[in-house]
Amino acid sequence: MTNEKRKYIMPVTTILSILFVTILAKVGIINNYLQTIIVTICINVIMSASLNVVNGYMGEFSCGHGGFMATGAYVSSVVSLILFKDGNSITGHALLPEGLAILGFPIAILIGGLGAMLVSLIVAIPSFKTRDDYLAIITVAANFIVTTAINNIPLVGASRGLMGMKGVMNNMADVLDVPWILIWGLVFAVLSVVAIHYLMNSTLGKGISAVRYDEISAEIMSVNTNNMKLIAFTFSSFLAGIAGGLFAHLLGFINPSSFGIMKSTESLVMVFLGGMGSLSGSVLSAFVFTILLELLRPAQIWKWVIIPLILILIMELHPEGIMGSKELPQKFPWLKKLFPLNKNQIRPGSEGDAA
């Protein structure tokens, strides 16, 4: 098989997989419960992979991803409710015909991502003038600031929360009866992973990785490290905002407590579980972590005793996580025949493993 043909394998397989899952959901083989699990996995893939851009590839330490998720959730929810939901709690009536939600929904999700990017820009400009672990402290503070601010805005329900997003999804189903949240969850998860892949294998990605390995040397080699940090951080937050928008429309109800420090901790756990600087690891860890949370649901609050213990064991016994800093073709060489690695994907110290 020629390289020209190989490059179409992944896109075609992905599209066919999404169509197959949609058909199974439409005929009832994948019920509503399983659909919720699948969309939750997609959301966690976006959260884990996006945080890995900062904590893994760039080597900084952000601990407030839940705050950017909250921004995206509320901004996208407000936009979709105002535009496409009659009887909403903000304006009382829809500004556009409800049927147009089928076209406007992805735009609302992207606007939520842009809102999260704007908040991250406000956080990033002062924080990247500091060094070491100050970013962790600043992002935790930002998480609390965002959730506290939302908690005191009556227009979006304050502490009572915001609801009605299920109505927007129902309006879409009235036009074409398919599981829209499942479709968009899969689509945005795939697009997020592809976007991160291309970013990290671009010239910008080399600059971001240079910050991780040696920031001073990168500056000597004329890499603008502040710009690299800004790009990685705002891009990561943009994707977190998209995940928040999907989360809000999946549940149909959100409140500030849903995006506290525990939500940020979940993202950190997935990054460490999958491997710092491994996109494949982020995807795998999101799947494992979501299933683990679901299995531990009967344990209620005790699950947050069990999960940190599992994380401690991983850090003690296998600190690199599931994938370390490698990708699947490096772990399983036979995959390189279908999906050959670019030279940019092979990180320092892994050449021998990838050979």
Q: Residues 103-153: pLDDT tens digits?
A: 999 999 999 999 999 999 998 888 777 666 788 889 999 999 999 999 999
Indicate if the pLDDT at residue 83 is higher than 80: yes
Structure tokens, 151 = 């908690």
* Higher-confidence position of 126 and 273: 273
Q: Which residues contact 130 (CB under 8 A, 6 or more apart)?
A: 138
CB atoms within 10 A of CB 33: 9
* Measured distance CA(110)–CA(184) in Å, rounded: 12
Beta-bridge mates of residue 253: 163
Indicate if the pLDDT at residue 302 is higher than 90: no
Q: Residues 166-179: what's their mean pLDDT? A: 93
Residue 331, judged by CB atoms within 10 A of its CB (0-12, 13-18, 19+), counts as middle
Query: Is 192 within 8 Å of 110 (Cβ atoms)?
Result: no
* Measured distance CA(78)–CA(96) in Å, rounded: 14
Residue 54, judged by CB atoms within 10 A of its CB (0-12, 13-18, 19+), counts as buried
pLDDT digits (tens, 9 = 90+) for 199-218: 998 988 888 888 888 778 88
Query: Is 58 within 8 Å of 208 (Cβ atoms)?
Result: yes
* Measured distance CA(281)–CA(49) in Å, rounded: 8
pTM above the 0.75 mark?
yes
pLDDT digits (tens, 9 = 90+) for 280-290: 999 999 999 99
* Measured distance CA(193)–CA(146) in Å, rounded: 26
> In this predicted structure, what is the pLDDT of residue 326?
79
Opening angle at CA 232, ends 228 and 236, nearest 5: 170
Q: Which residues contact 83 (CB under 8 A, 6 or more apart)?
A: 94, 95, 96, 100, 101, 104, 108
Q: Which residues contact 193 (CB under 8 A, 6 or more apart)?
A: 45, 49, 279, 283
pLDDT digits (tens, 9 = 90+) for 52-82: 999 999 988 888 999 999 999 999 999 999 9
